[in-house]
């Protein structure tokens, strides 16, 4: 057994090394000279101990391999900021890892703001080099462009300087990071297509289905805004493939079907369910639809109370225009999905609310809010309210806890409520926004729909001064400057 392990180990190490063979290693001495030899280079500035760098490296290496032979050429390189690349990293003001920058020869062109997974890196970099729209100069080039696994938008123009062609080029520059554009004025191509002086959006064969056209012809005006809207409206089709890289493109009201979406290993199985989603979705145009990998979006499933799904069938979750959440509780089928959407449309469904149980007793000086009692404890309490949204694991929140308890005790007899809520275990209602912990809001009793984010200090005196000044009615025990106006009971 030991001999087998010793035999396998070098092979594994060889595999690890081979993964990065297509990534150029740069040092202070070679940085400028090597980059000068390459047209376009994405450079990763990293530190060997950095966890984010370790996670990015295999994706980065995979992207480098995928870009071999690309025209125009794109090289991926890396610089170790802790060893032989210290001076270079200082020169480019690298102060966090990994930092990625795009170079033309040895001149930095821009920071890299794209995805961190191999396909996304490839797509982003291809969009950054060369013209925004690829000129299709032959029938072979035209055919190759359409055979891609990505959506393609092609402009067919008899005159390259026509108003529509100009609008097309403007839109291609604006959307180049997300969309593949091509254009042609070649007579041999124009003679073989039925569309001239217009734009056509082509769906890749991988995503074609019998419920929507595989190509869509633009029939709008010469305006840039109309062309832009045409591409944006039709790009994802009836049910787009939602990934971590493009998730922000899908807006509410949004219906997402989560299952084993994998167009690399199981395109047929992926489309089996997607086609059933589309079959129903086409009759509900007021909603946006998407399919997504449940493994990539487990955090979203958790937000809807779905901890783990063993079934191969889609899990359907919805956020409506008000950001309310709804869950298809029945096992997925075309029939249950359609019935669910009809009930959603009719307003007949109960929204899902992620909430801890309502506390059996809430008599403390600091009240506990959960999603199910938020209105009672905060909105309808008839008092000015200071509310803290916290996370149990947050160090700053733990430090604030005794201060908040003392504040609740000090203001126990005032027309003010001090409230806390675990924002990791409960849905936070609008208009409150929580992006870090702790987050605090002041909600005046006569303006509960317009809470104000508290940005002041976090000592007891800071809170008292703020509340004394902001209180709707002057406090009984403090003046507007936060000074006590009567002896405290513990001093009598």
Residues assigned a catalytic role? 50, 53, 394, 397
How far apart (Å, rounded) are the C-alpha atoms in residues 106 and 39? 9
| Closest to 257 in 3D by CA, of 274, 275, 245 | 274
> Which region, left, alpha or beta, applies to residue 323 given φ > 0 means left and ψ of -120 to 50 means alpha?
left
Residues 375, 381, 382: CA angle, nearest 5 degrees: 130
DSSP tag of 484: B
Per the CB < 8 A criterion, the answer to whether 185 and 133 are in contact is no
Residues 167, 170, 175: CA angle, nearest 5 degrees: 120
| Closest to 203 in 3D by CA, of 238, 243, 165 | 238
Strands 452-453 and 439-443: antiparallel
Sign of CA dihedral 423, 325, 314, 118: negative
How far apart (Å, rounded) are the C-alpha atoms in residues 219 and 199? 8
Nearest-10 Cα torsion for 207, 209, 213, 215: 30
Per the CB < 8 A criterion, the answer to whether 315 and 336 are in contact is no
How far apart (Å, rounded) are the C-alpha atoms in residues 23 and 57? 10
Token pair in block for residue 281: 């979705």
């Amino acid at each position: 057994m030991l001999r087998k392990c010793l035999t396998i180990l070098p092979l594994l190490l060889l595999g690890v090394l081979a993964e990065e063979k297509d990534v150029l290693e740069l040092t202070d001495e070679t940085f400028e000279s090597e980059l000068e030899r390459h047209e376009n280079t994405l450079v990763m500035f990293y530190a060997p101990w950095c966890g984010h760098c370790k996670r990015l490296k295999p994706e980065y290496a995979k992207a480098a391999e995928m870009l071999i032979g690309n025209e125009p050429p794109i090289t991926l390189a890396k610089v170790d900021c802790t060893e032989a690349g210290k001076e270079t990293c200082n020169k480019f003001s690298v102060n966090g890892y990994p930092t990625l920058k795009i170079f033309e020869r040895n001149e930095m062109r821009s920071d890299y703001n794209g995805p961190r997974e191999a396909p996304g890196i490839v797509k982003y970099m291809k969009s950054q080099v060369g013209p925004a729209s690829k000129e299709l100069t032959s029938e072979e080039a035209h055919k190759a462009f359409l055979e891609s696994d990505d959506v393609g938008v092609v402009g067919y123009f008899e005159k390259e300087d026509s108003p529509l062609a100009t609008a097309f080029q403007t839109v291609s520059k604006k959307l180049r990071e997300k969309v593949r554009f091509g254009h042609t004025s070649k007579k041999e191509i124009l003679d073989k297509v039925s569309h001239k002086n217009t734009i056509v959006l082509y769906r890749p064969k991988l995503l074609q289905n019998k419920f929507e056209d595989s190509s869509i012809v633009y029939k709008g005006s010469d305006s840039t805004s109309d062309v832009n809207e045409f591409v944006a409206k039709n790009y994802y089709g009836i049910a787009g493939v939602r990934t971590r890289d493009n998730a922000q493109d899908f807006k509410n009201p949004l219906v997402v079907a989560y299952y084993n979406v994998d167009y690399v290993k199981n395109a047929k199985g992926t489309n089996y369910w997607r086609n059933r989603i589309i079959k129903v979705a086409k009759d509900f145009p007021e909603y946006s639809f998407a399919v997504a990998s449940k493994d990539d979006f487990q955090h979203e499933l958790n937000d809807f109370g779905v901890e783990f799904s063993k079934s191969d069938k889609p899990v359907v979750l919805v956020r409506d225009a008000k950001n309310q959440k709804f869950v298809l509780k029945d096992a997925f089928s075309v029939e249950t999905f359609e019935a669910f959407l009809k009930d959603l449309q009719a307003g007949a469904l109960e929204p899902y609310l992620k909430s801890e149980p309502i506390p059996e007793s809430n008599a403390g000086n600091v009240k506990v809010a959960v999603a199910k009692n938020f209105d009672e404890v905060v909105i309808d309490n008839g008092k000015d309210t200071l509310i803290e949204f916290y996370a149990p694991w947050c160090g700053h929140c733990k430090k604030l806890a005794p201060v908040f308890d003392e504040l609740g005790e000090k203001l126990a007899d005032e027309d003010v409520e001090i409230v806390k809520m675990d924002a990791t275990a409960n849905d936070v209602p609008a208009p409150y926004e929580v992006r870090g912990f702790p987050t605090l809001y002041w909600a005046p009793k006569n303006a509960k729909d317009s809470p104000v984010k508290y940005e002041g200090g976090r000592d007891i005196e800071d809170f008292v001064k703020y509340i004394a000044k902001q209180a709707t009615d002057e406090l009984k025990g403090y003046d507007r400057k936060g000074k006590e106006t009567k002896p405290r009971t513990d001093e009598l």
